[in-house]
Structure 1
Amino acid sequence: MKFNHALLALAISVSGIAFASEKDHDTKPLHGGVVAQSKDIDYELVASADKLQLHVRDHGKPVDVAGMTAKVTLLAGTDKQEVELKPSGAALEAAGSFKVGSGTKVVAAVSKAGKSVASVRYTLK
């Protein structure tokens, strides 16, 4: 009976390691931005004073952003700014004048074909 318990414990520990490695995929920024995850998809926000970009990756592979949009809300102190990001190359992007800096909070509501896909939150450093 002890052998069965040991075998069961071994099987559970091995399956746990496999599950953990699948869930903990790499979330390092590839474009110098901040990465957040929603539903196993990585969303990297690259924010500067004149451009916002949202790069989308599925387990490290770029996602085709054609047909996607994102409504981004920037909260810098008491200032609130809403921006629509549209596909531009491999990312969702908007150009303009943006109040971004250390401590700015960002919420991105990502949609595809008019349906909500994800909501991701960031705090810029």
Structure 2
Amino acid sequence: MTFSKLSTALFAALSLSMSQGVLASEKDHDDKPRYGGVVSVVKDVNYELVAKPDSITLYVIDHGKPVDTKNASASLTLLSAAEKSEVKLAPAGENKLEAKGNFKVQPGTKVAGSVKIDGKLNSVKFTLK
């Protein structure tokens, strides 16, 4: 086999193995909602926002496993066409942060926020459906 053919064969094999690795990791990471909300994936961690008129809940899951949120915090900004509001979420169970109150949530509302878990701060963004 000539050098040219060998290098082409090696490149093809490497490309195939790399693409299969990417497909396998994408397949292993499920970003579908588990709690009926909308999901934002940041650094392979799923943040699922469930927004209701009387509560806002943020679930945190890392590769299918609940993330301990007992020392976590989050702040969210809700933006609709006519209104902007700030919401602070507190730990409310194994893998969730929550706020209770009166919230104007509707399809199209944009939500931007920051979540602090174990001293690490991540930005999240959602659009409610």
TM-score (norm 2): 0.87
Q: 1:107 aligns to what?
A: 112
Q: 2:25 aligns to what?
A: 22
Backbone CA RMSD of aligned residues: 1.6
> Could you tell me whether the CA contact under 8 Å between 1:109 and 1:116 is conserved in 2?
no
Deviations 1:71-119 (A, max 9, x none): 0111121211101001001200011000100111111211135x45211
Q: What pairs with 1:39-118 in structure 2 (closer than 5 Å)?
A: 39-90=43-94, 91-112=96-117, 115-118=119-122
Q: 2:9 aligns to what?
A: 6
Question: Percent of pairs identical after alignment?
Answer: 45
In structure 1, runs of 5+ residues without a counterpart are none
Measure, in 2, the Cα distance between the counterparts of 1:102 and 1:16. 36
Corresponding position: 1:34 with 2:33: no
Shift of 1:66: 1.6
Letter of the aligned partner of 1:96 in structure 2?
A: G
Q: Which runs of 4+ in 1 moved over 4 A?
A: none
TM-score (norm 1): 0.90
In structure 2, runs of 5+ residues without a counterpart are none
Letter of the aligned partner of 2:109 in structure 1?
A: T
Q: Structure 2 vs 1, CA of residues 116 and 75 (structure 1 numbering), >3 Å: closer, same or farther?
A: farther
Letter of the aligned partner of 2:115 in structure 1?
A: V
Measure, in 2, the Cα distance between the counterparts of 1:96 and 1:40. 30
Measure, in 2, the Cα distance between the counterparts of 1:108 and 1:23. 25
Which has the larger Rg?
Answer: 2
Higher strand share: 1
